[in-house]
Amino acid sequence: MKNKLLELGILVMVLVFGMTVVGCQEEEEETKKPAIFFDWDITVREIPSSLNRQGFTISIIRDGIEKTSATGTVTDGKATANLKIKDMAPNSEISQDVFGRDVWIAYIGIKIGTNNPRLVKEYEFSKLPDGTDTYALVNGSGGWDYSEFGPEN
């Protein structure tokens, strides 16, 4: 009888330990942040001083569709915004650069004030490999001079 109680006690401890380990793994997965597709800090520099203190909108445009935008005020000849896109781009939008790396090509648009047209610049955003343990698959920052932007087609 003593032997059976010992075996039962060991079985109970193994079950409790097993349930604790499995429970912890599930909890870790639930607390992990979901990946988003795009997280980029954009700065447009050397904006003419006549445009200081005017409102701006910086956008990411793909296939004529504005995917995301942010607003602010031009200060000291600079406009800075953090842009995020939660929805994953379809595989058809991902291409490869000359080195075989995955890239997502889109336009960066900037519109300053109400009377100025939106200006754009095409850019190849490097896509991190699928399964990368990061918050965004396209993640980084970049800065461009205002003179690098041109009229929208």
Q: How do residues 42-55 score in pLDDT, each as one tens digit?
A: 999 999 999 999 99
Res. 24: pLDDT tops 80: no
pTM assigned to the model: 0.72
Q: CATH number of the domain that 115 lies in?
A: 2.60.40
- What percentage of the chain reaches a pLDDT higher than 90? 48
- Beta bridge mates, 94: 104
Domain enclosing residue 11, as ranges = 1-32
- Same structural domain, 97 and 138: yes
- Same structural domain, 3 and 54: no
Return the sign of the alpha-carbon dihedral for residues 82, 87, 92, 97: positive
- Same structural domain, 121 and 74: yes
Res. 17: pLDDT tops 70: no
- Same structural domain, 78 and 17: no
- Same structural domain, 55 and 89: yes
- Same structural domain, 40 and 82: yes
Res. 32: pLDDT tops 60: no
CA Rg value for the chain: 25
- Same structural domain, 25 and 42: no
- Same structural domain, 60 and 92: yes
Measured over all CA atoms, what is the biggest interatomic distance in the chain, rounded to whole angstroms? Answer: 93
Q: Which residue has the higher pLDDT, 8 or 83?
A: 83
Q: How many alpha carbons lie under 13 Å from residue 130 in its C-beta half-sphere?
A: 5
- Same structural domain, 73 and 14: no
- Same structural domain, 61 and 107: yes
- pLDDT of 138: 81
- pLDDT of 27: 47
Lowest model confidence (mean pLDDT) among 9-13, 25-29, 66-70, 128-132? 25-29
pLDDT band of residue 8 (cuts 50, 70, 90) is: low
- Beta bridge mates, 139: 39
- Same structural domain, 24 and 40: no
Tens-digit pLDDT profile for residues 119-143: 999 999 887 776 665 556 788 889 9
- Same structural domain, 70 and 7: no
- pLDDT of 87: 82
Number of domains in the chain: 2
